[in-house]
Structure formats: structure tokens, C-alpha cells
Amino acid sequence: MICPIPLLKSARRAWRPFTSNQDRTECASKITSPSRGDFMVKLKLECSVNIDTLRGQLLYEIQGLYYYNPDVIADITCIDMEQIGKDKVLVSGVKGLPAPETLKVAIMALGGYQAEFSLYITGLKTKEKARSFEEMARRIVDTSKFEVLDFQLYGTPKENPRNQLEATVQLRVFAQSRDAKNLTAGRFLGPMMSNQLQGYPGLTANLDYRTAAPKLITTYFPGLFDRKRMEQVVHFVNQPERTIRVHDDDVIITPRLDLPKQLSAETKDPVPLDRFGPTRRVALGSRVFSRSGDKGANVNVGLFFPAGKDMNQKYDWLRSFLTVQNFRAILADEVSSNVFIDSSGLNSKDLLTRRKSSIIVDLKTADGIRTIRDIIKHVDIVIDPFRPGVLEKLGLGPAELASLNPRLILARMTGFRRDGKYRNMAGHDINYVAVSGVLSMLGPSDGVPSPPMNLLGDFAGGGLVCFLGIVLALLERTTSGRGQVVEANMVDGSAFIATSPRLNMKTSLWNRDRGTNLLDGGCPYYAVYETKDSRYMAVGALEPQFFAILVQKLKPYGLQHPPDREDRSSWPELRNQLAKIFRSQSRAHWESIFDETDACVTPVLTQQELEASRYEQRPIVRLDTSPALPNNIPEHDGYKSSPLRAGHGGVQVLSEWLGWKLGVDFDDTDRGIVGHATKSAKL
């Protein structure tokens, strides 16, 4: 009994090279003895059917312990396979669970017409010739008549071609329209031919014009549908008059929330990757083949190596590298995307640039505003960093943005309150924390209040609180389907972060002057001490049991235990003792004394030390079934970054998000400024 199935290892054993005359058609199977959940797989073509090949196919088709079929859920938790003859495998132990409450349906409809025209480009500067052809083609046809008008360049000429074949690439013009009249020879083929004849030398039309005639196309929309709202009818091919109506009232259904969950199987006994020697970063597809397909509720991909003498070594590397955590990290890094809207002439020093791009838009021009409105239609979240009223003056207020994208979440972050005394004033973190009342609580007793860098206002009370509001809005959107406005400010956010100390000011825990309380530096056993080598140790022995261990470890160095550690009159003397003792030895010495103890004493590490020791940077939160964005990938190890140049990545953003093409839908000037071109006049 295999419970669960160790598919991958046995599937690898079945891999073998094809012979030159072998039929590579996928093996068909014959199913017999369907009773008791047993079935037999029998060979029909020239390939082998055994337990290993069958497991390999199950691995590709199902990838888990459950197969979600619209009519039944197959449970293969306790599947068993037995080789009962040549190319015959008996499979048993498969159980059927109640069907899901949704059906997978495919809606097909007449989608209009399509036509295509192709030509060959020969010689130098093929990309430039293709771009010129596209620009002129879009000018001589009425692009508003096409739902799709795409220009696709195939191939790359050799660097030093020796003949015409090596210097030739293909340009495909693909068009779709609701009306066949828009794709007739006079409106599509004719203009393209005329454009080709008037173009640069080296453009030759493909003389087979059959594809340029309009052809009817169908559209296909897969989805899930509540089976209770759909009438199901079975039609018999050989008996057209015969039908059977399926009554779902008789079907036992598994509610969506009760569906059995697929579990991830982690790599067993992974091999240390350094065993394979030095590695270099290349595209995975250049070393590993893949096959993918739609399998109901998920999209799967199978990865495999070509057969060869080093196949086992490659397999060990692949299974050890593509752990569940690595795969989640790869997926998470690919799906997250952010874009800054910057002003021209801006030299940003922001180093928080991972997965971020920039486009430069002049918001003082009509083209710039049109560009923003186009982008808004394709995003989930917009963060408004301006003072109150700026977006409204630009015609991009909440109502206008919601009309463009009803699912949009508009997060409005300000420093001061939007309706408070300081709303029209400029400020920085120190100002916001100051008027929140929190800055007055920070710093030594014998000095002025000390700002905690810009962590409290900008990042904690500002960014983190605003992020929480965005998450709540996203959660609500899953129910309502609509976005909303999230408002946050750094004054209230900072006060919220400091809720505990603010409330404790009414108690003995924090009712004294700044720098004399238990947790603000006033307590000697909750403080930082310098060591002999000018480094530092942090002491946090608040609880009696932890304080007792601290005293025990420091007695050999002369520490005198105070009669009552909570007697504040003894604190100055205790602080002097601790300072003298810690200053007598190096930090490394104290680490050897306190490591692996519960004295709550640790070294104060610097960022330089962490980086030098290759201390792993990790996601701040881990979810056991969801991808997490890792810190330590080759381009970003968590310790270094580079500023995001204004305009960097903007061309790719407009291409991926809006489908715009450089030089056709927008221009990229010498200054890196992305500006609206031909498209703006038509929107």
C-alpha cells in the first residue's frame, strides 16, 4: 500500500531515451473492472506500461492525493498498484468522494473574424525596419475598426550572415475584428501590401494570401458554475433522439469550504547544492524541459531532463533546488509588481526598490493625465502621497478613479491629519511623532527627547498602518467586489503604535519622567552596557527568574545582589556595578557566558556584522500554505540595493500592463520620460 504516493522517484526510474523508429504517441489506456474502485491499465501503443510509468503519468495529471472531477472527487490517498502481466497494471484503493458544488463549464461564442499577413525582412536593422513598417501601417488603416492589431517579429538574423537565409526574419501582422468588412482586401491586405512596397529595401511579402482573407473565429471562456443553477443534459452521439437529464437534487455535494486540501510534498533527503561545485545563473529552460497544462482548478508544470549519462546528477540537483519553499519564493517574486509615477528631473535616493519600476509623467499636461487614467484601469492599489486636495485638482480624485476602476483601492497617506491644525504644513517624521505626543516619551532623563530615526512615523505609524488598511480593504473586496478609499496619517499611526506606553503612563509602570521608567532606559536590568572592546550588550532581565540567572552569572565578577531589585533607590548603584562589570571583558567573552541561557542578555549586533556573517534575511511573516517573498535571492540579499532611476523599467510596465508599444503608443525621450504619443488622441 502506498500512502501517500512517492511518485517522483519511481517516475524517474522509468525515463529512457527513445529509439529512432519508436512511435512517440502518448500511450492510450484501457480501463476494465470498474467495480470496487479497481481498474486495469493495458498497453495499446508501442511503449511500456508499468508501475513506474503509471505513477509518472499520475504525477503529471493529478499532482496530489485528490482529483477534482466535476462529477466526483477521486481520493487516491491509499492507492495500490500491482503489475499483473506485460504492460498490465492493476490499480486499486481509489475512493470516490462527493462531487464538488461547482461544475467546470466552457462557454463558446462566435468571436468575430481574423486575418493575418506576413512578410520577410532581410538585411541590416531588421528590428528598425519592422518598427517602421508597424508605425506606417497604423497610420494608413483605421485602427479603431480592429479589436486586435498586432505586429509580431519572429527570429533573429545571425550577426555576420553569409547568405540571405541567415539574414532573414519574419514579420506577422495579426488582426481581429467584429465585422468581416474591416478585414477585406481593400481594408487590410491592400494597405499592408502598399506599405510593404513603399517601405525599406529588404521587405518581401509572403505570396500565399489565403490567411489574409477574413475567417470566422470562436471564443472560449472556461470557468466554474454553481451546479444547482445549471440544467445538465446528456446527449448520445449514436442516438441523437436520446437524452438524459441529470438531477442534481440526487447528487451528494461537497461544499466548497469542505473540499479536501491538496498537501505539498517536500523534497526527501535533499542533496546539498554545493556538492555540485560552482554554479552560474542561467535560464531554467536551457537545462530543464517542461510540459504544462490546465488541470481543473490549477495550472501544472512538469519538469524533466533529457536522458544522458549525467541524468541522475541533474535530477538530484533539480529535486534539491526546487523545494516547496523555493518554488513558492519564485512564484511570489514573479507576481508582485509596483510602479512609481515620478516627476522629470528627479534623482531618487530610495533604496527600497525591489520589484519596482518607474515612469515619468508630467501631471501638468493633458497627455500626462490621460496616461495616468489609462494605467488606473489596470491596477489594484494606488497610493496617494500628496497633500490633501492635490489629486482632486488634477481631476484624479476618489470619485474619478472609482469610475475608471470600481475595484481600485485608493490609499491616501499623509503626515499630519487631513483635517487637523497642521494639514497644510510640510513636515517630516520628527514633526509627526512630535505632535502625536510620542516623541516626548523618548530619550534620556538628562537630555532632550530623541527621535527614533524615521522608524516610528514613516514606517511603523505610517507605512505599516496604511498597509493594514489596504489588506482590510482587499479582504472586504473579496465579498463586495468593489474597492474603497483607505486614509491613514503618521500622527495617529504613531500614537496607535505607542498605545501601550501611553496607557501605562496612568500606572506605576510608566508614570515617571522620561528616561526613569522600567522600559525607557531607567531600569538598570533593562539597559545597554558597553564592553571592553567598545561594543555593547543588551540586558532585559525583567522577570525575577531571569534576573536570578543574570546575578548568578555575574557573581564571579563581583556583582552584589541588591536586597530589593524593585527598590528604585538602589538602581543607580546597581547600574554602576553592571556598567563596571561589562566594561571589564570583551563582548565575545560575555557572549560565551550568556549564550544558551535564560538571562535575557544578548549582543548588540551591527548591520555590518550581520552582512559579514551572511546572516540570512527572511520574510517577516511565513504562511504555511502561501508563497512568501524571500530576502535572500541573488539580486537582493537583504543587505544592499541600488536607487531606482526615474523612468527605469517604464517601457516594460506599459508593455506588460497596457499592451502599449514604444514609438507607437508612447514615446521614451532622451531623459527617460515616458510620454503619451498616438494613443492619447484616441482615448
Annotate 484-501 with DSSP letters as a single string. -EEEEEHHHHHHHHTHHH
Q: Do 65 and 119 reside in the same domain of the chain?
A: no
pLDDT at 353: 73
Catalytic residue among 342, 374, 384, 458: 458
pLDDT at 204: 93
The amino acid sitting at 303 is L
Nearest by Cα to 514 from 452, 442, 456: 442
Distance CA 138, CA 142 (A): 7
- The per-residue pLDDT for range 548-586, each reduced to its tens digit, is 999 999 999 999 877 788 899 999 999 999 999 999 999
123 in a structural domain: yes
Distance CA 11, CA 54 (A): 8
Q: Do 81 and 146 reside in the same domain of the chain?
A: no
CA distances from 487 to 102, 398, 410, 593 (A): 38, 11, 8, 49
212 in a structural domain: yes
124 in a structural domain: yes
Question: Helix and strand tally (H, E) in the chain?
Answer: 18, 27
Beta bridge partners of 120: 170, 204
Given 470, 497, 524, which residue is the final one in a domain?
497
Which domain CATH number covers 476?
3.40.50.10540
Three-state SS string over 637-678 comes to: CCCCCCCCCCCCEHHHHHHHHHCCCECCCEEECCCCCEEECH
Most confident of 39-43, 310-314, 398-402: 398-402
**Cβ atoms 516, 508 nearer than 8 A:** no
Which of 36-45, 91-100, 405-414 bottoms out in mean pLDDT, i.e. has the lowest?
36-45
Distance CA 506, CA 633 (A): 47
458 is catalytic: yes
Given 220, 241, 273, which residue is the final one in a domain?
220
Distance CA 319, CA 172 (A): 40
Q: Do 122 and 179 reside in the same domain of the chain?
A: yes
- The per-residue pLDDT for range 127-182, each reduced to its tens digit, is 899 999 999 999 999 988 998 999 999 998 988 888 999 999 999 999 999 999 99
Distance CA 51, CA 9 (A): 12
Q: What range does the domain containing 79 cover?
A: 1-98
Given 65, 98, 131, which residue is the final one in a domain?
98
Q: Do 73 and 119 reside in the same domain of the chain?
A: no
Q: Do 90 and 111 reside in the same domain of the chain?
A: no
Q: Do 482 and 372 reside in the same domain of the chain?
A: yes
**Cβ atoms 123, 114 nearer than 8 A:** no
> For residue 421, what are the contacts with CB-CB under 8 A and spacing of at least 6?
none
346 in a structural domain: no
Which domain CATH number covers 215?
3.30.70.1150
Nearest by Cα to 129 from 205, 208, 196: 196
pLDDT at 123: 86
Q: Do 92 and 38 reside in the same domain of the chain?
A: yes
**At 151, which helix (H) or strand (E)?**
strand 148-154
C-alpha cell read off for 420: 487637523
Residue identified by cell 539574414 is 167
Q: Do 70 and 109 reside in the same domain of the chain?
A: no
617 in a structural domain: no
C-alpha cell read off for 132: 517602421
57 in a structural domain: yes
What is the overall mean pLDDT for the chain?
81
169 in a structural domain: yes
Q: What are phi and psi of 327, to 5 degrees?
A: -65, -45
Nearest by Cα to 38 from 120, 109, 94, 117: 94
Residue 250, pLDDT > 70, answer no
Most confident of 326-330, 332-336, 416-420: 416-420
Q: Do 48 and 127 reside in the same domain of the chain?
A: no
